[in-house]
Amino acid sequence: MRVSEIADHLKARWEGDGALEISGAAPLESAHGHEIAFVGNRKAAAMAAASNAGCLLVADEFPEGRTTIRVADPRAAFARVVALLYPRHPPAPGIHPSTVIADDAEIALSAAVGPYTTVGERTFIGERSSIGANCSIGAGVHIGDDCLLHANVTIYGHVTIGDRAILHSGCVLGADGFGFVRAGDHYEKFPQIGRVEIGNDVEIGANSCVDRAALGVTSIGDGTKLDNLVHIGHNCSIGRHVVIAAQTGLSGGVVVEDDAVIGGQVGIGDKARIESGAVLGSGCGVLTSKIVRKGQVVWGTPARPLKQYLKQLANLARLEKGSEPRP
């Protein structure tokens, strides 16, 4: 694909050799003459002069003198170019003969269902969706259009998934929440009879789990991305465009509002609320019923504002050296 064609796709202007053929994408430091790279920050800009990339995605302030495409956000533009150069090739529509499908399940003619998959009663699979090998899809499930389920995904009954969702291998949607009631000298299971609802453009990483609600709904909003090994407890409500990194766990009833960012290995207690735009640093712990305010950046256990956390670390370091802490 020529540089000029890539620029047209991005609705951006190019400089230099617009006829140069670009066949791949690569990091700035290892790209070759037929590949495109991006300059995302000042450090990368300093490295750009030594790069052999045929074309660079750059911001407006980048100096002239080589083949470039100027965009507002080079990193985001690079993601779009990668998708353009390496398009996903879905399997041909059809149902593998080894699948087991309930008589009243409805599967779009343009969908693909891989080998040894089971599809339960009253389940719907939408247009152009691709279901990998060895998936287990329960009864009353709705899977929207253009979804991709990799191999070995498990979806319990009565789960709704929007359009363009990506579910990676080993993830489980709709398992029972961790609900037990102490009855004398033992625990009795609290029936988990709620649902799971997943919005559009959601991606859920490998071996992640989203539990069904005890009553009501566990929900994940449009555009939210879960990394590998993330656990979403029963009755959680996750907003739109939330990002949650690996090995994070949310207890039951947690509310995460739109555009929040949650780092890896974060633990969030029952019924805590993370307001919109808040950032939780990796490894922090949010106590039960705690509220992290809108736009706040917190760190540590218990989670507290970043400035306060850093100050406490500095005071601790001074104590270790035998000096008096600052007031």
CA distances from 40 to 43, 46, 58, 140 (A): 8, 11, 7, 45
Q: Is the pLDDT of residue 320 over 80?
A: no
What pLDDT is attached to residue 264? 96
Q: Is the pLDDT of residue 322 over 70?
A: no
Supply 252's token pair: 């039951």
Domains and CATH numbers, the chain: 3-85 (3.40.1390.10), 94-307 (2.160.10.10)
What is the Cα 22 distance to its own chain's centre? Answer: 29
CA distances from 285 to 17, 106, 229 (A): 52, 44, 17
Q: Is the pLDDT of residue 324 over 80?
A: no
> Which residues carry out catalysis?
234
pTM of full prediction above 0.85: yes
What average pLDDT does the segment 233-260 reach? 98
% of the chain residues with pLDDT over 70:
98
**Each residue's pLDDT tens digit, 147-184:** 999 999 999 999 999 999 999 999 999 999 999 999 99
Q: Is the pLDDT of residue 40 over 60?
A: yes
Q: Which of 37-46, 234-243, 272-281 has the lowest mean pLDDT?
A: 37-46
Q: Mean pLDDT over all residues of the chain?
A: 95
What pLDDT is attached to residue 89? 83
Helix, strand or coil, per DSSP, at residue 154: strand
Q: Is the pLDDT of residue 251 over 90?
A: yes
**Edge-first strand listing for the sheet containing 68-70:** 13-15, 68-70, 55-58, 35-38, 24-25
Amino acid at 134: N
What average pLDDT does the segment 206-220 reach? 97
pLDDT band at 326 (very low <50, low <70, confident <90, very high): low
What pLDDT is attached to residue 91? 86
Closest CA to 217 of 181, 267, 255: 255
- Beta pairing, strands 148-149 & 166-167: parallel
**Each residue's pLDDT tens digit, 253-293:** 999 999 999 999 999 999 999 999 999 999 999 999 999 99
**Each residue's pLDDT tens digit, 81-137:** 999 999 988 889 999 999 999 999 999 999 999 999 999 999 999 999 999 999 999
Cα–Cα distance for residue pair 27/23, rounded to 1 Å: 14
What average pLDDT does the segment 55-69 reach? 95
What pLDDT is attached to residue 311? 87
Q: How many other C-beta atoms are found inside a 10 Å radius of the C-beta of residue 322? A: 6
